[in-house]
Structure 1
Amino acid sequence: MNFEQLFAENKEQSISGRYLTLESISTFLKRINTDNQLHVVGQSVLGKPIYKYLIGEGKTRIFLWSQMHGNESTTTKALLDFFNVLHNGSDLAKELLSNFTFCALPMLNPDGSNAYTRVNANDVDLNRDSQELSQPESIVLWEVFDDFKPHYCYNLHDQRTIFGVGDTSKPATMSFLAPSYNKKCEINESRLKAINLIAGINDILQQFIPNQIGRFDDSFNINCVGDAFQAIGVPTLLFEAGHYPDDYQREVTRKFVFFALVSSFIILSENDIVGNRMDDYLKIPQNSVVFYDFLYKNVKINYDGIEKITNFAAQYKEELIDDKICFNAYVSEIGDLEGKSGHYEYDANGVLYTDENDNIPEVGQKADFYLTKNIKFVNGLVKM
């Protein structure tokens, strides 16, 4: 299959970037509501509708939800792209619709999406609310799950730019997890199905982003939705959309989420998850916290007349300003930073750091400074 062509032909052009709200996808959802597939199944804390999209006539039931964390929109974009595939009339669409019934909650946390926050309007992380069910959004998720009785669950998320793949110094552009079902992190039939499926997805993605696929930590937490669903015997896959070089809008990563979704359903339709691919799954390196957005090496700093060479790092903070996500860089750490990498790295070769404050980098200050008086950095980057 030509995944690149499939994505190009089905990418939803009406949405892009990181800030995705219910308003920004509502026109699309109404457009694909061609046969009463779209239903309001509940409301958020602030009264926004939570939509369910149900399509297909197949015996294998697939349950997907995205933007449980409101500021994690990449998988939502890819999910809508996949919906376009189901509506394009192709042989692939017909095969998928005959083999599967898809039930999706494209935006579980519309309040958090609007505010661009991880939590909902009550400041609760919905992915830590699977047992208490204290929030209306959590109740909706479980009610749909109980009613739909899925054979597979897809828990769709974004991860931060700090994650790399093992010790490779490669960004974790995509990461996956077959969540544990108990504290011993044992393998049962249900979890093995998810493991085998992820191993198959990895086979496909390695052709496009070699060594940029990680495996998320599988520590068990029954308060997490994926762990809870796995614990009651439903194979669950965690998707984590991460950083691709220079892709802070996550439009390239969006494509690889799409590849992962489509390839997984092809694998399932071909019943290609038999056997035991645990070894292949474990060969996917675990995520490691090794990245900063910016890493500045061998910088000379004058501390009260004493000069020393050091390194420092800066990290973007994603700030919602006038309905736009602004990436503002702040100094995050100073020191040796051994074993760390930067998505953007600059070797100062011992030249002097100065800024408009105390002429030393301090954690929390904006990454606006000079290296010598001739090289100016604004918001982390060299100002050309």
Structure 2
Amino acid sequence: MDLELLFKENKEQKLFGRYITLAEVEPLLLQLNTNNQLKKVGESVLGKPIYSYTIGRGKTKIYLWSQMHGNEGTTTKALFDFFNVLHSKSEFANALLEKFTFCALPLLNPDGAEAYTRVNANEVDLNRDSQNLTQPESRILRAVFEDFKPDYCFNLHDQRTIFGAGTAGKPATTSFLAPSFNEERDINESRLKAIEVIVAINDVLQKFIPGQVGRFDDSFNINCIGDTFQNLNVPTILFEAGHYTDDYLREETRKFIFFALIASFSYLNENDLVSDAIDKYLNISQNNVVFYDFIFKNIKINYDGIEIITNFAAQYKEELIDNQIVFNAYFSQIGNLENKFGHFEYDGKGAKYSDDFGDFPRIDEMANFKLNDTIIFVNGLIKS
């Protein structure tokens, strides 16, 4: 199967960038509602509709949800790309619809999506509310789970640019996890099924992004939805969409998440055997916090009247301004950056730092500065 061509043919062009809200998603769901697949299953804190989209006639039931965290829309884009595949009337689509029934909540947290925040309108992280179920969105997710009775769960998220796959300086463009079901992180039949899916995904993605697939931390927290569903003996796979070089809008990462979805369902459809699945899973590089968005090396600064050569880092903050996501770079670390990497790196070779406030960078100030009064940096990047 030509995954690149499949993505190109089915990419949902009406979804783009980082700011994915109900205003973009709802018309697409209505358009895809060709046979009463769409159902309003509840409302958010602020009264916005939350939809389920159910399609297929197969015995194996797949439950997917995206944007539990409102500012994590990459997987939502990939999910709609996959919906387009299911509507393509291709031989592959018909095989999937015959094998599976898919039930998706494409935008679980519409209030958080509009505000571009991780939390919901009550400032609750829904991924820490799976036991107490204090929020309407959490209760909806659980109610659909209990009604649908899935065979597999797909928990779709984004992760920050700080993560690398291992410690060798490659970004974790995608990461996956078969969540633990107990404190001991044991592997039972249910968790093993999730592991086997991830191994199948990794086999595919390594052909496209070698060394850029990570394995997320599996510390047990029953308040997290993946751990809860795994604890209820339903194989659950966490997807984390991360950073690809120069892809802050996550359009390339979107493609790789799409590939991962296709790989998952191809594997489950074909019932392939995965040998040594646990070893292969554990050989996927662990996610590590090793990246900054910017690292500036060997810069001369004046600190308390003493000139020193040092390094400093900056990190983007994603800020919602006039319904647009703006990436503003702020200084975040000065000094020892050993074993750290930057998605953008610059070696000053002893050049002297200056900005509008003095001769050294200050934490949480915007990364606007000069080197030797001639090289100008605006928002972390060299001004052309």
> Could you say which TM-score interval applies, normalised by the shorter chain?
over 0.9
- The one-letter code matched in structure 2 to 1:346 is Y
- Aligned partner of 1:340 in structure 2 is 340
Is 1:285 the counterpart of 2:285? The answer is yes
Q: CA deviation at 1:26?
A: 1.3
| Cα offset, 1:135, TM superposition | 0.1
- Deviating above 3 A after TM superposition, structure 1's stretches of 4 or more consecutive aligned residues are 273-276
In structure 1, what is the equivalent of residue 140 of structure 2? Answer: 140
Distance apart, 1:272 and its partner CA: 1.7
Letter in 1 for 2:269: S
Q: What 5-or-longer segments of structure 1 have no aligned partner?
A: none
Please, what TM-score do these two structures have when normalized by structure 1?
0.99
Give 2:265's aligned residue.
265
Deviations 1:31-85 (A, max 9, x none): 1100010000000000000000000000000000000000000000000000000
Q: After superposition, what is the alpha-carbon deviation per residue over 1:252-280, rounded to whole angstroms, capped at 9, x for unaligned?
A: 00000000001100000011255550000
* CA deviations over 1:10-39 (Å, ceiling 9, x no partner): 000011000000011111111110001000
* 1:352-371 alignment runs, 5 A limit: 352-371=352-371
Amino acid paired to 1:149: K
Q: Secondary structure at the match of 1:112?
A: helix
- Normalized against structure 2, the TM-score is what? 0.99
Name the structure 1 match of 2:177.
177
The equivalent residue for 1:297 is 297
Moved more, 301-310 or 153-162: 301-310
Q: Percent sequence identity over matched residues? A: 67
Aligned runs of 1:307-322 on 2, under 5 Å?
A: 307-322=307-322
1:209 maps to which residue? Answer: 209
1:304 to partner: Cα distance: 3.6
Partner of 1:342: helix, strand, or coil? strand
State which drifts further: 339-348 or 297-306.
297-306
1:123 aligned partner: 123
Q: Which residue of 1 aligns with 2:3?
A: 3
Matches of 2:275 and 2:305 in 1, distance apart? 67
The structural deviation recorded for 1:244 is 0.1
Q: Which residue of 2 aligns with 1:166?
A: 166
Match of 2:31 in 1: 31
> Are the aligned partners of 1:75 and 1:158 in contact in 2 as well (CA < 8 Å)?
yes
Residue type at the aligned position of 1:299: I
Shift of 1:140: 0.1
Structure 1 residue 306 displacement after superposition: 1.4
Q: Distance in 1 between matches of 2:34 and 2:309?
A: 64
Once the two structures are TM-superposed, the CA of residue 358 in structure 1 deviates from its matched residue by 2.1
Moved more, 136-145 or 269-278: 269-278
Q: In 2, distance between residues paired with 1:244 and 1:26?
A: 28
Change (3 A) 1:51 1:362: same
Query: 21-30 or 44-53, which moves further after superposition?
Result: 21-30
The one-letter code sitting in structure 1 at the alignment partner of 2:213 is I
Task: Report the secondary structure of 1:127's partner residue.
Answer: helix
For the residue of structure 2 that corresponds to 1:315, the secondary structure is: strand
Residue 238 (str. 1) matches residue 238 (str. 2): yes
Supply the AA of the counterpart residue of 2:237: L
Secondary structure of the structure 2 residue equivalent to 1:143: helix
**Aligned twin of 1:221:** 221
Distance 1:273 1:239 in 2: 22
Query: How far apart, in 2, do the equivalents of 1:274 and 1:325 lie?
Result: 41
Does residue 20 of structure 2 align to residue 20 of structure 1?
A: yes
How far apart in 2 are the matches of 1:90 and 1:290?
A: 42
Equivalent residue letter for 1:367: A
- Alignment size in residue pairs: 384
CA RMSD of aligned residues (A): 0.7
Match of 2:72 in 1: 72
Q: Report the secondary structure of 1:228's partner residue.
A: helix
Partner Cα separation in structure 2 for residue 262 and residue 168 of structure 1: 28
Paired letter, 2:374: N
Partner SS state of residue 343, structure 1: strand
Cα distance per residue 1:103-138 (max 9 Å; x no partner): 000000000000000000000000000000000000
Paired with 1:14 and 1:93, the residues of 2 have a C-alpha distance of 21
**Alpha-carbon distance in structure 2 between the residues aligned to 1:81 and 1:306:** 56
- Where structure 2 has 5 or more consecutive residues not aligned to the other structure, the ranges are none
Query: Is residue 192–residue 276 contact of structure 1 (8 Å, CA) maintained in 2?
Result: no
Matched ranges for 1:248-259 at <5 A: 248-259=248-259
CA distance in 2: counterparts of 1:71 and 1:215, whole angstroms:
22
Q: Deviations over 1:216-255 (max 9, x none)?
A: 0000000000000000100000000000000000000000
How far is the alpha carbon of 1:168 from its aligned partner?
1.6
* Amino acid corresponding to residue 254 of structure 1 in structure 2: R
CA offsets per residue over residues 85-117 of structure 1, 9 Å max, x none? 000110010000000000000000000000000
2:152 alignment partner in structure 1: 152
